[in-house]
Amino acid sequence: MCYRLSLVGCCLTVAAPADAQITRIVIDSTASPAFGGASFGRAGQYETISGTAFGELDPADRRNAIITDIALAPRNPRGRVEYAATFHIVRPRDPAKVSGLLWHDVPNRSGRIILGIPERTLGDIGLSSGWQGDRSGTTAPGPGVEYATVPRARGADGSAIIGRVFARIMNAAGPDSRPLLVYANPHPYPPRTLDTRDAVLTTRTAETVDGRTIGMDTVRADDWAWARCSPDRPFPGTPDSTQICLRSGFDQALLYQAEFTAQDPWVLGIGFAAFRDVATFFRTRAEDDAGTPNPLAGTVRWMITRGVSQSGNFIRAFLQLGFNERLDGQALYDGAWPIIAGRRISLNTRFATPDGILALHEAGSEGPQWWEFWPDTARDLPPSGILDRCTRSGTCPRIVEHFGSAEVWGLKLSPAWVGAVGDTDIPLPATVRRYYLPSTGHGGGSGAFTTDRIAPQPCPSVGSGLPVLAPNPLPHTETVAALRMHLRAWVMRNTPPPASRWPQLADGTLARATKEALGYPTLPGLPPDAPTGLINPLIDYDWGPGFDRVDGSGVTSNVPPPIRRVYPMFAPTVDADGNERGGVPIVMLAAPLGTYLGWNLSAAGFRQGQRCSFAAGFIPFATTRAERLAAGDSRPSLEERYGDHAGYVRAVRTAAQEAVRSGFLLDVDAQRLVIAAQAGTVLRP
């Protein structure tokens, strides 16, 4: 029997085995050799393979039934729910030179991940595959994009499913219309009608990080439109469900919030299953149901999944919802590396917006943010942990996680360490290593050994504006290189990584996030009370009775959600310079050129004087004692610290030796950093 795959139009002929739900793969392109014919260490030349995997899910299987609305998705004649996911493989051309390790990278907002040069040099395999199915902005299908094709949910009688959603517009000015964005992508759900009477548009003059609203007003339904407009096409403009046009234009001093009804939600939680099944196929199958060979058959001995930021949040949710258990009951990944990701992605809800970054009224910090089984009495939730399901099934991977200061201040990290109350340090399971990169921004900075002034860059998230301070240059690059080798050795050779290092209450390196408790000095160019009141707090929202507050799954009927309670947040304590204590050694922090902050302030606009999204800032030291005294700066100058250029280079060399000794810097990178410091401009005549 042959039938058409309704989502992608591909004919299937043979049923999939119960332990692997990919039924067919299609190879779209192959480049051999790839990378311009370059050779990489002992592995030699590489090749790349791109294509699409087609699969089906049994909604009754307990490992799939957790997907929100999968029971309301259309089914094929076998009673299965169909999906598709793109993939991109990077592998050595010579199978004999394959290391046996496959890195399965989670794309961030569908950006294809290409295996890096260090991994290629070792003969590793790279796999990037799609999971995000909302098809909005960068997640829409296109060349070089990894995405999933998932169905929309419908009522049992075939009727449309509707629900309320919301979006916000900030720092907009003038007569032009504005799109509704989630972070930097268009909102995935347009209004079901362009009649503004079915929506509510409100403005506010001020808003605190904990949700207190000042000066809220409602825009009359006939004073705005779902339309595209400009000075040449004034209000009411041209009808457009993705844009809002105002009769009086936008005011930069106001925040605009639109609440409206959408319909036909994507079953986005299928993205977890698609990621699981694609990995299962390439690890275990010889061929698909039609006889198309698996290009990686027989070459994969170990698998590690990793993702950065949004993608790391995906991994944490993937593990919590039990998707590391294959359908044959075996563990899928041997290792997992959620990078700069302190929460779980909000993907498995009706009308989910997975591009969210934990702005006010955005989901993603519900339930346990910690790995260990632990009480959550503050939020009236049962004891739980991210690894509960894989612990019960015996399918937990070995995990390395690392973060920086921006995740603490902008992305609600501290509950993962001390819970919602913050009264004790939550222990780590033996299979988890945690490393904190103190005083660093989201993903790290340039790492340049220079005191040259760097102009502020726009804060993350469209509409956030410019920050007050220059960007934080503290790097992650060298530390990540060392962690990569440690995780690789842990998975492949059972060699344990260094002990976890992160700020804790017990040793005084973690405290309430106020200037006094953390020990911040008064820093030049900032308000005297900074950073009190800047941290993004943990908020317990009431999403409605259909929402599972432990799993972060289900139906959200209260949108935007009322606030149940706001919880205290914690951050690393600092030294006399304002640089963080605790965590792993970083060369530039041990030989500092200024104060490296995990937060920054908005220079203008609606958020002026508040934290500018999750941007990180830098306040350089004065060069001489006279300069710092004239500025009223308590921090010793560069000359007072190092004397001259040679003294600074000595400090860098000493810091590099210590980082190597403790296992957080490779020898080759230590040598490179010292050479870079010698060539830098610090205290040069």
Would you say residue 9 has pLDDT above 80? no
Distances 162 to 201, 239, 369 between C-alpha atoms, Å: 19, 22, 30
DSSP category for residue 111: B
Q: Residue 407 is encoded by which pair of tokens?
A: 């995740």
What is the average pLDDT across 207-225? 96
Question: In the predicted model, is pLDDT for residue 91 greater than 70?
Answer: yes
- Extract the tokens encoding 80: 């299965």
Tell me the HSE value of 165 on the side-chain side, using a 13 A CA sphere.
23
pLDDT of residue 280 exceeding 90, the answer is yes
> Structure tokens of 355?
């591009």
Please say whether the beta carbons of 447 and 473 come within 8 A.
yes
> pLDDT exceeding 70 applies to what percent of the chain?
97
- The 3-state DSSP composition of the chain as helix, strand, coil percent (nearest 5) reads 20, 30, 50
- Per-residue confidence at 685, pLDDT binned at 50, 70, 90? confident
pLDDT over 90 percentage in the chain: 95
* DSSP run (H or E) holding 270: helix 270-284
Contact between residue 147 and residue 7 where contact means Cβ atoms under 8 Å apart: no
Question: Which run of H or E residues covers position 283?
Answer: helix 270-284
Cis peptide before 561 (omega within 30 of 0): no
Taking the C-alpha atoms of 665, 671, 676 and 678 in order, what is their torsion angle to the nearest 10 degrees? 130
| CA distances from residue 441 to 275, 308, 497, 549, 591 in whole angstroms, order as listed | 29, 13, 24, 30, 17
What pLDDT score was predicted for residue 4? 30
Q: How confident is the model at residue 451 (pLDDT cuts 50, 70, 90)?
A: confident
529: left (phi over 0), alpha (psi -120 to 50) or beta: alpha
- The owner of tokens 């779902």 is 226
Cα dihedral 223, 229, 233, 234, rounded to 10, equals 20
Helix, strand, or coil (residue 542) = coil
DSSP 266: B
Q: Which two tokens stand for residue 614?
A: 């999750």
Q: What integer is the mean pLDDT of 81-106?
A: 98
At 20, the pLDDT band (50, 70, 90 cuts) reads low
List b or e across 555-584, with b for residues whose CB sees 16 or more CB atoms inside 10 angstroms: bbeebbbeeeeebbbbbbbbeebbbbbbbb
Q: Output phi, psi for 414, to 5 deg.
A: -60, -30
DSSP string, 370-389: SSS-EEEGGGTEEEE-TTHH
CA dist 441 and 579 (Å) reads 13
Tell the residue number behind the tokens 């929100």, with chain if given.
68
Give the three-class secondary structure for 81: strand
Assess contact for 535 and 512: CB atoms under 8 A: no
Mean pLDDT of 321-336: 97
Average pLDDT over every residue of 419-432? 96
**Eight-state DSSP code of residue 444:** -
By C-alpha distance, which of 257, 138, 152, 274 is closest to 199?
257
CA distance 109 to 460: 14
Instruction: Retrieve residue 22's tokens.
Output: 């990919």
pLDDT at 490 over 80: yes
Q: Based on the number of CB atoms within 10 Å of its own CB, is 241 exposed (0-12), middle (13-18) or buried (19 or more)?
A: middle
Residue pair 203/279 in contact by the 8 Å Cβ criterion? no
Name the CA radius of gyration of the chain, rounded.
Answer: 26
The per-residue pLDDT for 8 is 38
Q: What is the pLDDT of residue 155?
A: 95
- Give the pLDDT confidence of 339-364 residue by residue, as tens digits: 999 999 999 999 999 999 999 999 99
Interatomic CA distance for residues 459 and 441, integer angstroms: 12
φ, ψ dihedrals at 566, nearest 5°: -110, 135
Residue 16 pLDDT greater than 50, yes or no: no
Q: Which string of DSSP letters, residue by residue, matches 225-242? A: EEEEEETTEEEEEEEEEE
Average pLDDT over residues 563-573: 97
Average pLDDT over residues 365-394: 97
> Phi/psi at 54 (nearest 5 deg)?
-115, 135
Burial of 626 (0-12, 13-18, 19+ CB in 10 A): exposed
Do 243 and 226 form a contact (C-beta atoms < 8 A)?
yes
User: What is the pLDDT, as a whole number, of residue 455?
Assistant: 85
The residues pairing with 128 across neighbouring beta strands, listed in sequence order, are: 88, 105
CB atoms within 10 A of CB 65: 12
What does the alpha-carbon distance between residue 479 and residue 166 come to, in Å, rounded to a whole number? 39
* For residue 440, pLDDT beyond 60: yes
Joined tokens for residue 258: 């639109």
Amino acid at 49: I
SS3 sequence of 578-634:
CCECCCCCCHHHHCCCEEEECCCEECCCCCECCECCCCCEEEECCCCHHHHHHHCCC
Q: How far apart are CA 548 and CA 626, in angstroms?
A: 60
Q: How does residue 463 score in pLDDT terms, banded at 50, 70 and 90?
A: confident
**Is the pLDDT confidence value at 15 over 80?**
no
| CA–CA distance, 350 with 69 (Å, rounded to integer) | 7
Going by pLDDT thresholds of 50, 70 and 90, the confidence category of residue 1 is very low
Q: pLDDT tens, 308-319?
A: 999 999 999 999
Contact 45, 79 (CB under 8 A): no
Return the axis-axis angle of helices 667-679 and 477-493, rounded to nearest 10°.
170
| Other CB atoms within 10 Å distance of the CB of residue 234 | 12
Q: How confident is the model at residue 574 (pLDDT cuts 50, 70, 90)?
A: very high
DSSP state of 174: B
Assess contact for 451 and 682: CB atoms under 8 A: yes
Instruction: Tell me the average pLDDT across 563-578.
Output: 97
In this prediction, residues 42-71 reach a mean pLDDT of 98
Number of residues in the chain: 685
